[in-house]
C-alpha cells in the first residue's frame, strides 16, 4: 500500500520519532502548527475512526497521556489540544492523533498565525531526546 505513514512505521521514510511501543509510534509533524506538534499513529494501517479497533484506540490514548507528560517536561508547554481528523479534513488516510502544545508567550498561543515563532522540528526533537 502506498501510505506515507506506513512507510514511516517501516523506516522507509525518516521521521523525528521520539516515543514507541508495540502498537504505536509518535513523531513530530513535518509541517508543525506549533513547537512539539506530534502525531501518534498505530503501526498497523487503519484509515480513520470508523476503521480503527477499540484496543488500538485505547493504546493511542494511553500513549497520549505519557506523551503529554514528556512534552510538558521537555518543552515547558502550558497546555495542549488533541485533534483527530476524518473524511474531507483528513489529508493522510492512516489514522493519527495530533497533539498540539501551547505556550505561555502570547504569540505562541496560536503559533500557526506567527510562523516565525515556530522552531525547526530538528531542534524540538533534540530537546525531546535530551536527558535534561
Contacts with Zn ion, residue ranges (CB under 5 A): 3, 5-6, 45, 94
92 lines the binding site for ligand 5GP (CB under 6 A): yes
Annotated catalytic residue: which of 37, 45, 94, 96? 96
85 lines the binding site for ligand 5GP (CB under 6 A): yes
Query: Closest separation between CB of residue 25 and Zn ion, Å?
Result: 12
47 lines the binding site for ligand 5GP (CB under 6 A): no
Selected from 9, 18, 24, 27, the binder of ligand 5GP by CB under 6 A is 27
Is 96 among the residues known to form the active site?
A: yes
Q: What is the 3-state secondary structure (H, E, C) of the chain?
A: CCCHHHHHHCCCCCCCEEEECCCEEEEECCCCCCCCCEEEEECCCCCCCCCCCHHHHHHHHHHHHHHHHHHHHHHCCCEEEEECCCHHHCCCCCCCEEEEEECCCHHHHCHHHCHHHCCCHHHHHHHHHCCC
- Interacting residue ranges for ligand 5GP, rule: CB under 6 A: 4, 13, 15, 27, 29-31, 39, 85, 90-92
Catalytic residues: 96
Amino acid at each position: 500500500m502506498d501510505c506515507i505513514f506506513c512507510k514511516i512505521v517501516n523506516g522507509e521514510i525518516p521521521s523525528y520519532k521520539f516515543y514507541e511501543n508495540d502498537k504505536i509510534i509518535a513523531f513530530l509533524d513535518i509541517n508543525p502548527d506549533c513547537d512539539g506538534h506530534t502525531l501518534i499513529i498505530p503501526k498497523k494501517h487503519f484509515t480513520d475512526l470508523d476503521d480503527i479497533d477499540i484496543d488500538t484506540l485505547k493504546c493511542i490514548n494511553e500513549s497520549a497521556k505519557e506523551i503529554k507528560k514528556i512534552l510538558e517536561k521537555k518543552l515547558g508547554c502550558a497546555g495542549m489540544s488533541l485533534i483527530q481528523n476524518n473524511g474531507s479534513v483528513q489529508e493522510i488516510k492512516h489514522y493519527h492523533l495530533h497533539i498540539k502544545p501551547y505556550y505561555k508567550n502570547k504569540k505562541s498561543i496560536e503559533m500557526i498565525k506567527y510562523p516565525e515563532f515556530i522552531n525547526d522540528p530538528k531542534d524540538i526533537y533534540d530537546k525531546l531526546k535530551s536527558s535534561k
